Amino acid sequence: MNNQQSEIRNPQFTIEAALYVLIGAVALVLRLANLGAPPLLVSEAREALAVYRYTMSMGVPLSTSSPAWFALTSLCFTLFGSSEFWARFIPAISGTVIVFTPLVFRKEIGRLAALAASAFLAISAAAVASSRYADGTTLAALSLLLIVIGVKKFLDEDSKPFGSLRPEGFGRGLIIAGIGLGLGLADGARFFSAVVAMLFAFVFALVARPSLFNDVVNILKRVRVDASRFLVTTGVTFLVFSSAALMNRVGLSAAAEALPLWLNGWVAALESPRPVVLIPQILFLYEPLILFIGVCVLYIAFVSGLWHHWIASVQTILTPPTDDREEVIEGAFALAWRSWAQVMCLAAIGAMTFGVLYPARESSDALWVVLILALIAGKALGELFGGEWYEDEWQTVASQAAVLFVMFIFAYFNISGYARATVYVANGQSLPYLTLLLAIGVIILAAIITVLFASGWSGQSSARGAMIAVGAVLLIGSFSSMWGVSQSRVNDPRELWTTLPTANNLKLMMKSVEDISDRTTGFKRDLEIVVLNDPAWNDRDTVLGWELREFPKTKFVDSLSPQINSAVVIADAAISDPTLGSTYVGQTFAMWGRKTQTPFALEESIDWWLFRSGQVEYARRVLWVRQDVQLLKREGK
């Protein structure tokens, strides 16, 4: 019998493992594909340039915001050379690892739920975008994951009846947790944002389950028994990652300044913060699927219970109570895991509240909310589709899903038509809101059809059909948003993720410089270049400094003068006729873009939401080429 059971279970485990491998492969491809194609942002370039100067022993390197990222990236630069790809490689790998976060909670939420949650994280726009920027966000998430894994492993070890002897390997959980904490402390300010976001989540979760506080206190008491190995591991890991194995002492000071820097974010960013509603906007724009499921679970966890008690009260008034009266059943809104859902929904709200309150908020702060929402969405789908199915139920579910899917697509085209100012004319009168009203009417009709299916068949079947239809539409929207923010529109200023993306024209300008150098000197990077440093952008230590890092004859100056006679001069576009030692010809290149503010209008907002439309203004640089060099370039064609 046991052999038969193992034969039955093995294929299931094999399929599950194969699905996780597939999810991991998809996550890795989405995070590594064209990783080095977009130019570095100003903040990324500063960090990457600091690593480059350190690996090339070019004086004291710049202070870094993430010493752990600095140490790991310096190893990549040493082994493979400096490039945009290797500057972003460590965050991409860390982001791939955190896709498997739900596996840690597999026993608590179920196998199917953990699998679905991992799939959500693999294609999440916030998770993918956070993994494709050279900073410490995904390293902070990885640190939290290691801490959770370590604590869970320690609790499992500590709960076993060892008697007076402990088996070999006991305490490995605390070692893993210590590695996670040490890595996080070395990661810098992003780790403190992650910790405080989770603290907000914990405080909000206490509203639904106050006993969590006692649980945490008990865990801390149990950890304190073996705190020595935990603290030693934390200290060693911190020293290794903050100072690049004691070879970069500047990293130690940078790690020590991380907490004051993060605290200063509560004050310094008040002058020009990102929008207060940035994190809710990102969730709505980039994560419609898991946000929709999260809202549905929030409704069922809190509101549906109120309806149940209200209906029960009405039935009590209409029907005299009897001793043998049966208990009212909640029907389609029954949630055996309502308590868990309440805790997780409040935790997600708490993590989002941190993003709203912290003035120095960044787009990647949405990741802390997404990690929780993915668990909620995975659990919801696991409970909805993992239960028993009635005979031939799939036919009803498929029919409802097909009808609703067509209706939602129809509604989408009408909404997009309204955004694109499609106006219908009837009897000589224009009807500008007709398409929008049609879309709203179709959505209302879809809700009525769902209720009718629930009344005619079963609430669970109706919920399954509606979730398949809505999920398919929102999955397309979520994947489209992810692809846009990470691939097709990664440098588009109209995207919400970045405020000042570096334009692709920078690559074109550098290609022109290399071409001029090749034709003039015979080498692509042997040209004499003078750059007028703009203090507002700090060109010397950011984007232009990074792009010109391998041009040894580059000089950054604070002002132009007639003594300058280099082959190429790069200056701000505001200087239309620079005073130089020779005659120069110039070409303008867009460098950084910003979406212009436009008056609020409903159709314009929907147009931006669906198609990222809007006006853009650019900060520009002019590539000035000495005339004789330009003529030589032309003769060489």
Q: State pLDDT tens for residues 544-561.
A: 999 999 999 999 999 999
Whether residue 241 sits in one domain with residue 347: yes
Residue 332: what pLDDT? Answer: 43
What does the block give as tokens for 459? 């609430």
Pairing mode, if any, of strands 529-532 and 554-557?
A: parallel
pLDDT band of 349, cuts 50, 70, 90: very high
Q: pTM for this structure?
A: 0.91
Output the six-digit token pair for 236.
Answer: 């060693």
Looking at the structure, do residues 538 and 429 belong to the same domain, yes or no?
A: no
Q: Within a domain: residue 447?
A: yes
Residue 13 lies in a domain: yes
Residue 163 has pLDDT above 50, yes or no: no
Contact 401, 373 (CB under 8 A): no
Do 332 and 399 belong together in one domain?
A: no
> What is the model's pLDDT at position 387?
78
pLDDT tens, 211-236? 999 989 988 888 887 788 899 999 99
- Residues 361, 457, single domain; the answer is no
Q: How confident is the model at residue 402 (pLDDT cuts 50, 70, 90)?
A: very high
Question: In the listed set 332, 358, 381, which residue is the last one of a domain according to the structure?
Answer: 381
Indicate the number of domains in the chain.
Answer: 3
Tell me, yes or no, whether 494 lies in a domain.
no
**Residue showing tokens 């959980």:** 173
Among residues of the chain, what percentage have pLDDT more than 90? 62
**Cβ(602)–Cβ(609) under 8 Å?**
no
Evaluate if residue 412 carries a pLDDT over 60.
Answer: yes
- Find out whether 179 and 238 touch, Cβ atoms under 8 Å: no
Assess whether pLDDT exceeds 70 at residue 477.
Answer: yes
Residue 281: C-alpha distances to residues 132, 403, 497 (Å): 20, 30, 10
Residue 401 lies in a domain: yes
- Looking at the structure, tell me whether residues 373 and 397 fall in a common domain: no
Residue-level pLDDT at 328: 41
Q: Is residue 496 part of a domain?
A: no
Residue 493 lies in a domain: no
Residues 55 and 104 both lie in one domain: yes
Domain boundary among 349, 381, 413: 381
Question: Given this model, what pLDDT does residue 604 score?
Answer: 79
* Rounded-to-integer distance, Cα 138 and Cα 54, Å: 23
Please check whether residues 375 and 403 belong to one and the same domain: no
159 and 252 in a single domain? The answer is yes
3 state SS of 440: helix
Tell me, yes or no, whether 394 and 337 share the same domain: no
Full domain range(s) for residue 416: 388-488
What integer pLDDT is reported at residue 297 of this predicted model? 93
Are the beta carbons of 504 and 543 closer than 8 angstroms? Answer: no
pLDDT over threshold 80, residue 268 = no
Instruction: Using the CB atoms, write b or e for 365-384: b if 16+ within 10 Å.
Output: bbbbbbbbbbbbbbbbbbbb
Angle of CA points 446, 449, 450, to nearest 5°: 90
Residue 25 belongs to a domain: yes
Do residues 93 and 183 both lie within one domain?
A: yes
Average pLDDT, the chain: 87
* Model confidence pLDDT, tens digit, residues 10-20: 555 588 999 99
Residues 456 and 551 grouped into a single domain: no
Q: What's the confidence (pLDDT) of residue 6?
A: 46
Q: What is the pLDDT of residue 159?
A: 60
Q: Given 381, 401, 433, which residue is the final one in a domain? A: 381
The C-alpha atoms of residue 409 and residue 589 are separated, in whole angstroms, by 41
How much is the pLDDT for 426?
53
Q: State how beta strands 429-431 and 424-426 pair.
A: antiparallel
Amino acid identity of residue 268, one-letter, is: A
Identify the weakest region by mean pLDDT among 63-72, 81-90, 400-409: 63-72
User: 260-266 long-range contacts, Cβ below 8 Å, gap at least 24?
Assistant: 261/65, 261/188, 261/189, 262/189, 262/192, 262/193, 262/360, 265/189, 265/358, 265/359, 265/360, 266/358, 266/359, 266/360
* Choice among 412-426, 429-443, 444-458, 489-503 with the minimum mean pLDDT: 412-426
Give the mean pLDDT of 472-500: 94
- Return all residues near 349 (Cβ < 8 A) that are at least 6 apart: 204
Q: What pLDDT is recorded for position 572?
A: 93
Higher-confidence residue of 522 and 425: namely 522
pLDDT tens-digit map of 182-191: 999 999 999 9
340, 375 Cβ separation under 8 angstroms: no
Tell me which of 607 and 96 has the higher pLDDT.
96
Q: Is 331 inside a domain boundary?
A: yes
Please check whether residues 86 and 152 belong to one and the same domain: yes
| Cβ 65 vs Cβ 135: under 8 Å | yes
| pLDDT-based confidence at residue 598 (cuts at 50, 70, 90) | low
Q: What integer pLDDT is reported at residue 165 of this predicted model?
A: 45
208/206 Cα distance (integer angstroms): 5
| CA gap 386, 19 in Å, rounded | 16
CB 110 within 8 A of CB 382: yes
Q: What is the pLDDT of residues 298-335, one digit of tens each?
A: 998 888 766 555 555 555 565 555 554 444 444 445 57
pLDDT digits 0-9 by tens, 109-148: 999 999 999 999 999 999 999 999 999 999 999 999 999 9
